[in-house]
Amino acid sequence: MQLYNLIPSLQFHCKTFISEAFSLFVKWGASVLNTKIKELVKVAKMFNAHLKGVINALTNSFSNAIAERLNGKIQEIKTVGRGYRTFKNFRNAILFFHGGLDLYPHN
C-alpha cells in the first residue's frame, strides 16, 4: 500500500460511528505495520499504545481548554504583579480576580 492510500483511510475512519472506530483503527494499524514506511509505523505503534485514549478523544468532545484558560490567567496575574512576596499573597490575588467572588452587596 502506498502512503497516499493510508492517510485518507485514516481520515475516513475518524468520521465513522463510535462502535466501528475501535475495529477500524486496529485494521488500519495492522495494514500500516505491514508497510515499510517507518514514519507511519511509528504513528501506528503510538495509536496501538494509546488506542483507548485516541478512541475516547474522538468519541467525546472533552478538552482541557478551561484549565488552559485558567492557567493563562494565572500567568497574567504573575506577570502583572511582578513578583509576590509570599505565596499567600499570590494565592489571594488569584482568588480575588478569578475566585468568583460577588463583590456587590445584596439588597
Q: Can you give the residue ranges of every domain in the chain?
A: 3-59, 65-98
Residue pLDDT, tens place only, 57-67: 767 767 788 88
Residue-level pLDDT at 65: 85
Q: How does residue 48 score in pLDDT terms, banded at 50, 70 and 90?
A: confident
For 40, residues 6+ apart whose C-beta sits below 8 A from its C-beta are 3, 6, 32
Residue pLDDT, tens place only, 55-91: 777 677 677 888 899 999 999 988 888 888 899 988 8
Average pLDDT of span 25-53? 83
Rounded to an integer, what distance in angstroms lies between the CA atom of residue 34 and that of residue 51? 18
Grid coordinates given for 101: 467572588
Angle of CA points 23, 52, 3, to nearest 5°? 55
**Which residue is listed with cell 460577588?**
102
Beta strands in the chain (DSSP E): none
Q: Which residue has the higher pLDDT, 106 or 9?
A: 106
**Which residue is listed with cell 478523544?**
57
